[in-house]
Structure 1
Amino acid sequence: MRESKQYSRRQLFTHFARQPIESPPRLLISNTCDNLYGYCESCVDVCPEQAILWLADKKPTIDVAKCRHCKRCIDACFINAITINE
């Protein structure tokens, strides 16, 4: 025999009435980025919002507040170091 679960009214209304919050996809730059070993700014040059910050001898970082997920940086990266985490 299966046990039945009992929920309070508050649990019913708050748990089932709320829609799950969907976080937007995030762009990730892997450690295979050529900027770590040389010089490449192809993703920075393509970004219309200038959301990618380039630092010498480090992998670029993405400013999530500026990023509009246009995915141009993914197309510009010739070694596929930028991916989307959904």
Structure 2
Amino acid sequence: MRESKQYSRRQLFTQFARPPVKQPQLMISNICDNLYGYCESCIDSCPEQAMIWYADKKPIINIEKCTRCLKCIDACFISAITITDES
């Protein structure tokens, strides 16, 4: 026989009643100038070093390190970095 798990009132009303909060994600589009190998403005602006740099393709954002300070968006002069609502 399976035992039932006991929950406190606080858990029932706070933890289970609210849906999890989705964090906005940052995405780098394919218009990124790094495809040509000369722009590093987003990487230089990131205080958490959350950008992973590749020599032959666009950079990738490490979502575990990213604090969503949005400094990379301000630094990108061609607006290749955007915010999405997906998590």
TM-score by length of 2: 0.77
Over the aligned positions, Cα root-mean-square deviation in angstroms equals 1.3
| Structure 1: stretches of 5+ with no match in the other structure | 1-12
Q: CA deviation at 1:71?
A: 0.2
Measured in 2, the distance between the counterparts of 1:36 and 1:19 equals 42
Match of 1:85 in 2: 84
Q: Does 1:21 align with 2:1?
A: no
Say which SS state the counterpart of residue 82 (structure 2) adopts. Answer: strand
| CA displacement 1:57-84 (0-9 Å, x = unmatched) | 1100000000000000000000000000
| Structure 2: stretches of 5+ with no match in the other structure | 1-11
Asked if the contact 2:50–2:62 (Cα under 8 Å) also holds between the matched residues in 1, the reply is yes
Q: Does 1:33 align with 2:32?
A: yes
Measured in 1, the distance between the counterparts of 2:65 and 2:83 equals 16
Asked if the contact 2:27–2:81 (Cα under 8 Å) also holds between the matched residues in 1, the reply is yes
Larger radius of gyration: 1
Measured in 2, the distance between the counterparts of 1:82 and 1:58 equals 15
Measured in 2, the distance between the counterparts of 1:78 and 1:27 equals 16
Say which SS state the counterpart of residue 27 (structure 2) adopts. Answer: strand
Measured in 2, the distance between the counterparts of 1:64 and 1:76 equals 18
Say which SS state the counterpart of residue 57 (structure 1) adopts. Answer: coil
Equivalent runs, 1:1-86 vs 2, <5 Å: 18-86=17-85
Q: Which runs of 4+ in 1 moved over 6 A?
A: none
